[in-house]
């Protein structure tokens, strides 16, 4: 018999957004375990619960950002492209399939691939290493405060996507802030 357990926490929206936006799943779990010690042994179940939420969301609405996908495809024609995410590798693979971008990226890194999540720069430095590039030769697109801080700590140029209607993120450290990535122009 399989037992399903629902995880219910009384979380303030601001705290929840700070907790998850741009953060590695492992870091989210570490923080939740500090605040909710009873979930010590339920990491896998929590990941499954979050996956069910994600699946239900994208089954009812198109969660893709088409202008971002178009930019990725345009950049990939002339530059190497990778995805560096705090999500699990399985979640990233699912997103790549959903966006139909497998042929446009060289590799992807998930939270299993590095020890510290954003805002630590380790994930971006690892990506630069995989490309055989110096960090200052890399351009990062981010949509979270933690991600922008990680990119800048890695000494990389950063373009922040700041979309209306989403919980606010402090992306002021970014080199450029856009409300839609269709506005991005690549100079050089």
Of the pLDDT bands very low, low, confident and very high (cuts 50, 70, 90), residue 141 is: very high
Of the pLDDT bands very low, low, confident and very high (cuts 50, 70, 90), residue 116 is: confident
Of the pLDDT bands very low, low, confident and very high (cuts 50, 70, 90), residue 159 is: very high
pLDDT in tens, 15-66: 766 666 666 666 777 777 787 776 655 666 766 766 776 677 667 888 789 9
Q: Spell out the domains of the chain, with CATH numbers in brackets.
A: 12-188 (3.40.50.1000)
3-state secondary structure 76-128: HCCCCCEEECCCCHHHHHHHHHHHCCHHHCCEEECHHHCCCCCCCCHHHHHHH
Of the pLDDT bands very low, low, confident and very high (cuts 50, 70, 90), residue 12 is: low
pLDDT of residue 131: 98
């Amino acid at each position: 018999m399989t037992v399903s357990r629902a995880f219910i926490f009384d979380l303030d929206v601001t705290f929840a957004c700070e907790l998850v936006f741009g953060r590695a799943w492992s870091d989210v779990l570490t923080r939740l375990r500090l605040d909710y010690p009873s979930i010590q042994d339920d990491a896998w179940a929590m990941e499954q619960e979050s996956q069910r939420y994600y699946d239900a969301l994208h089954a009812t609405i198109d969660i893709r950002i088409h202008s971002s996908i178009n930019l990725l495809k345009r950049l990939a024609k002339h530059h190497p492209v990778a995805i560096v995410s705090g999500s699990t590798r399985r979640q990233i693979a699912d997103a790549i399939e959903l966006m139909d971008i497998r042929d446009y990226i060289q590799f992807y890194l998930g939270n299993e691939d590095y020890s510290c999540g954003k805002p630590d720069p380790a994930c971006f430095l690892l990506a630069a290493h995989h490309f055989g590039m110096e960090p200052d030769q890399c351009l990062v697109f981010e949509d979270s405060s933690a991600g922008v801080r990680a990119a800048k700590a890695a000494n990389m140029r950063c373009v922040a996507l700041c979309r209306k209607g989403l919980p606010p993120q402090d992306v002021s450290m970014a080199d450029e802030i856009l409300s839609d990535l269709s506005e991005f122009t690549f100079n050089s």
